[in-house]
Amino acid sequence: MRTPLIAGNWKMNTTVDEALELVRAMKDELEKIAEVEKVVCPPFVSLAPVKELLSGSAIKLGAQNLFFAEKGAYTGEISPLMVADLCEYVIIGHSERRQYFHETGDVVNKKIVAALQADIIPIMCIGESLEENEREKTKSVVSEQVRAALAGVKSVSGLVIAYEPVWAIGTGKSATGEQAGETIAFIRHNIADLYGEGTAREMRILYGGSVSSANAAEFMQQPEIDGALVGGASLKAGEFINIVSQASAIKSRK
């Protein structure tokens, strides 16, 4: 049914040389693992050289962000057309962008629309803060984020959602598989409400937040969880390979 997807979000790490070294260290092993889609998301400056290194490979490339305008006087920004030349995927609305760069639901929505228009698959990030979690607001927060991000979007075919509780990102404190599975099932219901059962059933929804080789199995065992968006652990070749191979073993058993 849904092909599992493991994406590595390298964030603001690796120079071009380091990025190439990291890809070289995992490429061959990743190629051997079947039935999982593998995506790496290095910083913008490494996209072109990494693409060259991955040519002919099944490993796909994602960007970590884009701006919504096609071109023009937006110093320092990268347009969907530029990303589309290099990448199949783009991470949009990551909580770090919402937090440090003040991306609102409206901005995230514009970026989603722009990515889809440019034929880039968005990995759309949503998730509640620690405070919202403690106040038991998780469901209303993710619902609202989904609605805001997808406002006016008619077709979400191919789009991927990453549920990343903010309190679990980079903290070493992950959600339990069960908690994440439950919230992801709820997100899928929201998609069903907006786009119908068929679309909801096909949509891949990932978990993200302190995923490592030590806890990957717990998430992959949840039928609602279709893979992971991995931060810190994606910077270590052995860790990333291990997570991808656990996803393949567990998901192909089902």
- Contact footprint for ligand PGA (CB under 6 A): 9, 164, 169-170, 208-211, 229-233
Distance CA 163, CA 203 (A): 13
Between 215 and 245, CB nearer to ligand PGA: 215
Determine the 3-state secondary structure of 122 from DSSP: strand
103 is catalytic: no
By beta carbon distance, the residue nearest ligand PGA is 231
Which residue among 37, 103, 164, 218 is the active-site one?
164
Amino acid at 31: E
Min separation Cβ 219 and ligand PGA, Å: 11
Distance CA 105, CA 114 (A): 14
Distance CA 39, CA 62 (A): 6
The DSSP-derived string for 189-222 is HHHHHHH-HHHHHH-EEEEESS--TTTHHHHHTS
Min separation Cβ 81 and ligand PGA, Å: 25
> 174: which DSSP letter?
P
Min separation Cβ 232 and ligand PGA, Å: 4
164 is catalytic: yes
Min separation Cβ 254 and ligand PGA, Å: 24
Between the two ends of the chain, the Cα-to-Cα distance in Å is: 10
Between 9 and 245, CB nearer to ligand PGA: 9
Min separation Cβ 168 and ligand PGA, Å: 6
Amino acid at 198: G
Give CA angle at 98 (93, 104), nearest 5°. 85
Between 65 and 195, CB nearer to ligand PGA: 65
Q: Which two tokens stand for residue 215?
A: 């806890």
What are the catalytic residues?
94, 164
